[in-house]
């Protein structure tokens, strides 16, 4: 592993443009459960049943129970060494973009600046009727549905559910960063969710060096110049 770490360090040494895609795996060591895989939280429920607008329309209380429990977890945890390593890398690289699929806000809390939250942020509520957003407040899982102070509409977590478009312009900005970067880091993602995973294809297609950090091989490993198998909280500080 150490020669792979050395290889990754060399690949990162003199680049001036870096783009990063992170997934749930980078927050696992902070104590935020991942979605898929052995400890995946989606092993006992299907994303299509919970994280979809249809599920929210059918049973908003059920969706809120899930998101409220996740928000409670996110508020209790801290960024880990993987998050802080990426914030340190950003300070060293002229052109740095971090696109995350995570909705836990941990990259921002770790000090990362140019963060594109592809799937939104669980720390914000959004009115399903008028779109008004505000900071989410922790509530018991079975509290009444949150209502918008402006129009009385039901509020939802400000996240992108399956079948929904990503926030306006966010993916385009991430795609142009992936297209111009010299090095693309893909960290802690199973690479199954689109269009996020496509960012790795865009980077590789434009000749970028792709460095993957994950516990396991993923469909994106085929694109990687080097795949470092292990925990991102241990590996990232060593390559940054």
Q: How far is the CB of 127 from Zn ion (least distance, A)?
A: 3
CB atoms within 10 A of CB 118: 23
Nearer to Zn ion, 141 or 150 (CB): 150
Give Cα separations from 61 to 67, 122, 153 (angstroms): 10, 16, 14
Residue 70 CA to residue 16 CA, distance in Å, equals 36
Q: Are 27 and 104 in contact (CB under 8 A)?
A: yes
Binding partner of 138, given ligand BV8, Zn ion, none, CB within 5-8 angstroms per partner class = none
Question: By CB under 6 A, what part of segment 47-76 binds ligand BV8?
Answer: 51
Binding partner of 153, given ligand BV8, Zn ion, none, CB within 5-8 angstroms per partner class = Zn ion
Question: By CB under 6 A, what part of segment 197-226 binds ligand BV8?
Answer: 213-216, 218
37 binds ligand BV8 (CB under 6 A): yes
Nearer to ligand BV8, 83 or 93 (CB): 83
Q: How far is the CB of 197 from ligand BV8 (least distance, A)?
A: 8
The full DSSP string for 144-189 is PPPB-TTT-PBEEEEEPPTTSPPSTTHHHHHHHHHHH-SEEEEES-
Residue 85 CA to residue 18 CA, distance in Å, equals 14
Integer-rounded Cα Rg, in Å, for the chain is 18
Catalytic residue among 7, 83, 107, 119: 119
Q: How far is the CB of 224 from ligand BV8 (least distance, A)?
A: 13
Structure tokens at 52: 């979809």
Question: Catalytic site residue 7?
Answer: no
Nearer to ligand BV8, 94 or 194 (CB): 194
Contact window for ligand BV8 (CB under 6 A) among 54-62, 107-115, 157-165, 170-178: 157-165
Rule CB under 5 A: which residues touch Zn ion?
Answer: 127, 129-130, 132, 148, 150-151, 153
* Active site members: 119
């Amino acid at each position: 592993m150490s020669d792979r770490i050395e290889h990754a360090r060399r690949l990162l040494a003199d680049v001036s443009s870096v783009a990063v895609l992170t997934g749930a795996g980078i927050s696992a060591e902070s104590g935020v459960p991942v979605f898929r895989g052995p400890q995946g939280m989606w092993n006992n429920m299907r994303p299509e049943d919970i994280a979809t607008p249809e599920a929210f329309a059918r049973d908003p209380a059920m969706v809120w129970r899930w998101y409220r429990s996740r928000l409670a977890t996110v508020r209790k945890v801290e960024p880990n060494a993987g998050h802080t390593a990426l914030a340190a890398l950003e300070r060293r690289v002229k052109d740095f973009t971090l696109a995350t699929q995570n909705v836990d806000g941990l990259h921002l809390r770790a000090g990362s600046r140019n963060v594109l939250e592809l799937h939104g942020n669980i720390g914000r509520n959004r009115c399903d009727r008028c779109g008004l957003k505000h900071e989410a407040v922790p509530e018991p899982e079975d509290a009444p549905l949150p209502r918008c102070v402006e129009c009385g509409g039901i509020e939802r977590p400000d996240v992108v559910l399956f079948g929904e478009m990503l926030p306006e312009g966010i993916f385009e900005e991430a795609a142009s960063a992936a297209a111009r970067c010299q090095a693309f880091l893909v960290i802690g993602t199973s690479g199954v969710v689109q269009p996020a995973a496509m960012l790795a294809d865009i980077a590789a297609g434009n000749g970028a060096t792709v460095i993957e950090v994950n516990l396991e091989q993923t469909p994106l490993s085929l694109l990687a110049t080097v795949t470092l198998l292990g925990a991102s909280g241990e590996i990232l500080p060593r390559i940054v």
